[in-house]
Amino acid sequence: MPDTQTAAKRKLSRQQYLDLYYFMRLNREVEDTMTRLFRQNKIVGGLYSSLGQEAVSVGSAYALEKKDWMAPMIRNIGALLVKGVPPRDIFTQHMAKYTSPTKGKDGTSHFGDLENLHIVSPISMLGDLIPVLTGVAMAGRYLGQKIVSMTWIGDGGSSTGVFHEGLNLAASQKAAFVLILENNQWAYSTPVRRQVPIENLADRAKAYGIPSYIVEGNDVVAMYSTAREAVDRARSGEGPILIEAKTFRRRGHAQHDPAEYVPSAQREYWEKRDPIALYEKFLTEEKLLDARGKKEIEDKISTLLEKEREFAENSPFPPPEFAAQGVYCTGDDCHKIRPRWERPIAEVMPPKSSVEPVWTVEGFGHGKSSSRENAPIHFGDTQPAKEPPVNAAISPANPPAKPPARKSAPAKSAAHGKARR
């Protein structure tokens, strides 16, 4: 069994409950609109659906504050909408229009907003956003901003080398970083069980001594509650946290993929666990949403998307002479982002920042005792590794139990030592 738990659900205000519903519905309608545009050959790049995964993006991004940073992946359109990206930017970006965030230089979701919304553009090399957002968190701490950074990765992407390198960097630096691992059961056409020998990908956090959670990814309230707890813990200085969201990708890898490799029984199981349908039922039972309120939200989304789609379709393509502009960061074409100091610079400059170039090594690298220089060596003796504090329930009021004291074993030949299983 994994040493992980789901955070207790928070009691939200009525408006927060309805916000989560609105953004999930908006997420789905935006993608449905783009599917129609794609079939009309009006979208020129790849189109990647998050059908069935909306609760993960919306719930986790809703836990961030305005000053926090995030880097979405191709299936995190919901996170973009929560952070404040208008649908027209998503439409024009995929249609490669001159009014898009990249002015038509990219035909998919590779765009961000560093200046205002604090969004780092997606990177196609899966896993690379983890060290990038670790660096963002470290920079925020250096500048005194008290920010948290967040990014997402899929189950397949968690098998890349940079996933582990980035997570190790975040752990060693105690970066205020939250990683959402979307376990949607398939890495393109490879099922999770064919790529990793473990049931819960959250177990990978143990290797770096960081906390982890497992959450029902189709429960938007649980997703938000868990992400909010992780964000609060990271902001308070506890370091990085990994959240594994169990969910399902109900469409293929992209529009060109019919996903015929997915067993029909598995698809039917997850279709019955549609996050929007489940949440609608909850809101209705809790008397937070009625037929009138639902229609008001539907009409609001329909009116917005009609206006945003028309803007995108009527926008021009970039002029040919623009192709050579903005390729290199030179002169006025370069961004004007500068460090935003929220602490006295003197704190990170000598002499205040100076430290003695000598490290104290507790136990001299052998153990916790401060006087182990003459400690005997018992050949063949083994010592169980201490489990890292990965249990989400650990808190100052409920500290982890101390491991039992190590007993000295009689000297024996190394050849007779038992291997630790």
CATH of the domain at 153: 3.40.50.970
- Is residue 22 a part of any domain in this protein? yes
Residue-level pLDDT at 23 = 98
Measured in degrees and rounded to the nearest 5, phi and psi for residue 269 equal -60, -50
Gap between the Cα atoms of 55 and 47, Å rounded: 19
Q: Is 407 exposed, middle or buried (0-12, 13-18, 19+ CB in 10 A)?
A: exposed
Residue-level pLDDT at 254 = 76
For the residues of 173-227, what is the DSSP string, one character each?
HT--EEEEEEE-SEETTEEGGGT-S-S-GGGGGGGGT--EEEEETT-HHHHHHHH
- Is residue 201 a part of any domain in this protein? yes
Rounded to 5°, the CA angle 156-130-89 comes to 90
For residue 181, the cross-strand partners are 153, 244
Q: What is the largest CA-CA distance in the chain?
A: 82
> Nearest to residue 388, comparing CAs of 211, 128, 244, 194?
211
Gap between the Cα atoms of 49 and 163, Å rounded: 23
Task: Calculate helix-pair angle for 14-39, 275-285, nearest 10 degrees.
Answer: 150
Q: Which domain holds residue 106?
A: 14-321
- Is residue 283 a part of any domain in this protein? yes
- Is residue 375 a part of any domain in this protein? no
Gap between the Cα atoms of 231 and 62, Å rounded: 11
Residue-level pLDDT at 55 = 96
Cα separations (Å) of 228 from 231, 267, 283?
Answer: 5, 30, 20
- Tell me the residue ranges of DSSP E strands in 198-345: 212-216, 241-246
Residue-level pLDDT at 393 = 39
Into how many domains does the chain fold? Answer: 1
- Is residue 347 a part of any domain in this protein? no
Which pair of tokens denotes residue 297? 């939200």
CB 324 within 8 A of CB 109: no
Gap between the Cα atoms of 119 and 322, Å rounded: 25
- Is residue 298 a part of any domain in this protein? yes
- Is residue 370 a part of any domain in this protein? no
CA atoms within 13 A on the CB side of 249: 31
How many other CB atoms are there within 10 angstroms of residue 316's CB atom? 9
Gap between the Cα atoms of 240 and 248, Å rounded: 25
Task: List CB contacts of 280: < 8 A, sequence separation 6 or more.
Answer: 21, 289, 294
Residue-level pLDDT at 282 = 96
Residue-level pLDDT at 332 = 61
Gap between the Cα atoms of 418 and 421, Å rounded: 9
- Is residue 247 a part of any domain in this protein? yes
Task: List CB contacts of 41: < 8 A, sequence separation 6 or more.
Answer: none
CB 72 within 8 A of CB 112: no
Which pair of tokens denotes residue 77? 């359109």
Measured in degrees and rounded to the nearest 5, phi and psi for residue 286 equal -85, 5
Instruction: List average pLDDT for each run of 10 residues in the chain, which is 421 residues long.
Output: 55 95 97 94 86 94 98 94 96 95 88 93 91 98 97 93 96 98 87 87 94 96 97 97 92 77 84 94 96 97 97 95 80 74 92 88 72 67 60 39 44 36 31
Gap between the Cα atoms of 398 and 376, Å rounded: 35
Residue-level pLDDT at 373 = 58
